A and B are shown apart, each in its own frame.
Chain A
Amino acid sequence: MMNYFPDEVLEHVFDSIASHKDRNSVSLVCKSWYRIERYSRRRVFIGNCYSISPERLIARFPGLKSLTLKGKPHFADFNLVPYDWGGFVYPWIKALAESGIGLEELRLKRMVVSDESLELLSKSFANFKSLVLVSCEGFSADGLAAVAANCRFLRELDLQENEVDDHRGHWLSCFPESCTSLVSLNFACLKGEVNLGALERLVSRSPNLKSLRLNRLVPLDTLQKLLMRAPQLVDLGIGSYVHDPSSEASNKLKHAIQRCKSIVSLSGFLEVAPRCMSAIYPICGNLTTLNLSYAPGLHGNKLTKLIQHCRKLQRLWILDRIGDKGLGVVASTCKELQELRVFPSDPFGAGNDAVTEEGLVLVSAGCPKLNSLLYFCQQMTNAALITVARNCPNFIRFRLCILDPVKPDPVTNQPLDEGFGAIVQSCKRLKRLSLSGLLTDQVFLYIGMYAEQLEMLSIAFAADSDKGMLYVLNGCKKLRKLEIRDCPFGNSALLEDVGKYETMRSLWMSSCEVTLGGCKTVAEKMPSLNVEIINESDQTEFNLDEGQKVDKMYLYRTLVGHRKDAPESVWIL
């Protein structure tokens, strides 16, 4: 029946299928669909850069325009992975450059990006348009200078939370006068000065600029000039926001801000004088996204007053200095809220300003559309979680981090099994879950039973026995990523169903009870997995005793076998 449609028609149909999952499914239908799909595929997402090689990617998708790659495992964010573990983008860029593929967009997360790679990138793809680097490292302002200078049609340079070595700020001046295509420029994570004149000129000649995020060292009068030149901005990240509200500079700024009627997303305030926030009020009514999580200077009344102006907010990232009362203000003001992230302002502090279960309950009651949560708090109770589950059955992402990792319900002194159980039972669409607090095997029984859509689970300091892990592996059919630290899960949980790991992207286990022998068994039985043992102690040789407990194990499915770029501290079984 498929033969009735000429290829072009199928291609046209496939063009309207954007999601990676759907396109992958399409390619599995039959040989001719596979063929048509692969030639028409423009965007590819690779969640683990070691699961496939650049050569195979290029061979299958010769029409590739946009590539997304992720490198290090998630726990690398918390310093649990050696800095030289891997995730180098250079081989990918080199292979793509040599293949003649017309790459236009590259999005990287947790990868090592050298200046050399950026330079090669900038010189190899004539139509390159978009570079997005999230939580990457390994490059300096020199690499950025190459991108600025050579990518003639650059639309997007978006640097999010990267550790960049940038002492010299000349990279911004490397954008040629002919570059007028910028739509998005985000350099908030850079620590060095930039040439302010060059920045002003660049913004002036970029009529399509919609997103601009500045770093801490862009002074106020430059901000004001930039806003005057780019009133069409939709997304603004303010670096430094310190001024005297009664000064002329402040008035000029207020006027400039008011002209920006399209701003719906605001972030930054890396340095802030709270008294000055009133200049922002005129645009608050339009905001759908507000990220104040890097602004510890903003708290108390000034903060809540700001939030009271933001009635259309859908996404709010904030520090826990907002307090439970502040969250109450959020609850009564932001009725459209979908995503809330509350970060700890002082992770090791006594917790003077902090949030508890009360704030969360208030938000759940006031914001029925809430579907995504990241919440660092001092404590949590089962009763609160049960209430939250009832108020917000739409959670897709629910990540709760109680700062004391094994803290029970402070009211009843019970583990938090029932509370999290209520969450998974009520939130039928839950895809991502992070647990904390005192937890026994029971919570995992609930997760296995109810969390049918769960794709990613993060566990720390929980459970009593292997049963916990087994409940999850047996129950969560859609599980893709499982990351576990400091739990009493051993070989019998690990080895119960090794075939399961081929259906997942990856498994991380650190400070658990699995031994070298157990890991070796997995590697032997499943050649389609890379089983990596990470050992950072000073031993020059790995202790070969099979009974030795493994400090960190990271296993992932792959089509291309052992990687060749692992450092000394990583042993691939």
Chain B
Amino acid sequence: MERSVAYENDLNFKATELRLGLPGTTDEEPAVSSVRNSKRPLQEDIEDEKCVANGNSESQNEPTAPPSKAQIVGWPPVQSYRKNNSQAKKIEFEFVSGIYVKVSMDGAPYLRKIDLKVYKGYTELLQALENMFKFTIGEYYERQGYKGSDYAPTYQDKDGDWMLVGDVPWKMFTTSCKRLRIMKGSEARGLGCCGA
């Protein structure tokens, strides 16, 4: 057969090489890393690296594959603000199951229940507790705990220990918190003073 494809004789890197630009052009520039004119290079770097990895699988059949869309700077033409602010969240905000925990307050006649999934962080949670039980919590300090009020929010973790709310990252907290207790008075102050 006359039509033997080049790659039978040599590896023909050129034909399978991923390049920026339409087939037929001989643009020597590397695919992605050339232009760094975004104010937020970090975001682009992450996305681009992810995409170069994906892009490798795209140009299979045709030796003159069109440029993978993932490699082209500024394509698709989505405003960078929009790109930075509407990542398709893999963690969906679906209410498939909430994280309901009991909340007790020293001196209150009955307990309440709240869904930790509803809150985005400690600020919101504490505000909600303040509203629910009509009290103020005070400010959180890493060393001293909560200053400025008679109350301290605590929680019982998976090991059964009572911990001060606010020390660990939020996500870690929501997954390890079993119940909440708002401690009052001397017990609360004591929690803050003890050394590690």
Contact = CB atoms under 8 A, between A and B. Distances in A.
Nearest to A80: B74
A296 B88 contact: yes
B88 A79 contact: no
Contacts of A281: none
Interface stretch (A18-26, A95-103, A345-353): A345-353
A83 B69 contact: no
Interface in A134-177: 135, 137, 161-163
Interface stretch (B5-13, B43-51, B142-150, B178-186): B43-51
A294 B85 CA distance: 7
B74 A401 contact: no
B50 to A, nearest CB: 7
Nearest to B124: A219
Interface in A327-356: 343-349
A105 to B, nearest CB: 23
Nearest to B44: A79
B4 interface: no
Given A244-B98, A296-B88, A349-B88, A271 B120 contact: yes
A461 B22 contact: yes
B21 interface: yes
A83 B38 contact: yes
A81 interface: yes
A376 B76 contact: yes
Contact of A343 (B22, B50, B78, B123): B78
B79 A161 contact: yes
Interface string B33-67: 01111111000100100110010000000000011
B37 A536 contact: yes
Contact of B76 (A135, A344, A537): A344
Nearest to B23: A406
Contacts of A537: 34
Interface residues of B, number: 49
Contacts of B39: 83, 137, 163
Given A77-B77, A77-B80, A297 B92 contact: yes
B151 to A, nearest CB: 20
Interface in B136-180: none
Contacts of A219: 120, 124, 127
A273 interface: yes
B77 A460 contact: yes
B52 to A, nearest CB: 10
User: Majority SS of interface residues in chain A?
Assistant: loop
A485 B74 contact: yes
Nearest to A78: B74
Contact of B95 (A78, A137, A275, A536): A275
A242 B69 CA distance: 34
A276 B98 CA distance: 14
A75 interface: yes
A486 interface: yes
A57 B124 CA distance: 50
User: Majority SS of interface residues in chain B?
Assistant: loop
A343 B82 contact: yes
A438 to B, nearest CB: 8
A271 B89 CA distance: 10
Nearest to A458: B77
B81 A162 contact: yes
A243 B118 contact: yes
Contacts of B191: none
B81 A486 contact: no
A296 B89 CA distance: 7
Contacts of A198: none
Interface in B85-118: 85-89, 92-95, 98, 115, 118
Contacts of B47: 348
B74 A348 contact: no
A221 interface: yes
B118 A405 contact: no
A121 B66 CA distance: 50
Contact of B37 (A82, A243, A344, A485): A82
Interface in A269-328: 271-276, 293-294, 296-297, 319
Contacts of A244: 95, 98, 115, 118
B120 A345 contact: no
A78 B37 contact: no
Nearest to B84: A163
B82 A161 contact: yes
Interface string A213-236: 000010111000000000000000
B95 A405 contact: no
B148 to A, nearest CB: 17
Nearest to A77: B79
Contacts of A162: 81
A81 B120 contact: no
Contacts of A271: 93, 120
A542 to B, nearest CB: 16
A322 to B, nearest CB: 13
Contact of B77 (A78, A193, A275): A78
Nearest to B29: A537
Contacts of B79: 77-78, 135, 161
B7 to A, nearest CB: 24
8 contacts: A135-B81, A193-B123, A221-B128, A242-B118, A297-B92, A344-B76, A458-B77, A537-B34
Given A276-B95, A401-B77, 5 more contacts: A189-B85, A247-B115, A271-B93, A296-B86, A296-B88
Q: Which 8 A-B pairs have the closest CB atoms?
A: A78-B74, A346-B88, A161-B81, A406-B66, A77-B79, A297-B93, A79-B38, A82-B37
Interface of A: 75, 77-83, 135, 137, 161-163, 189, 193, 217, 219-221, 240, 242-245, 247, 271-276, 293-294, 296-297, 319, 343-349, 376, 401, 403-407, 434, 458, 460-461, 485-486, 511, 536-537
Interface of B: 21-22, 34-40, 44, 47, 50-51, 54, 66-67, 69-70, 72-89, 92-95, 98, 115, 118, 120, 123-124, 127-128, 131
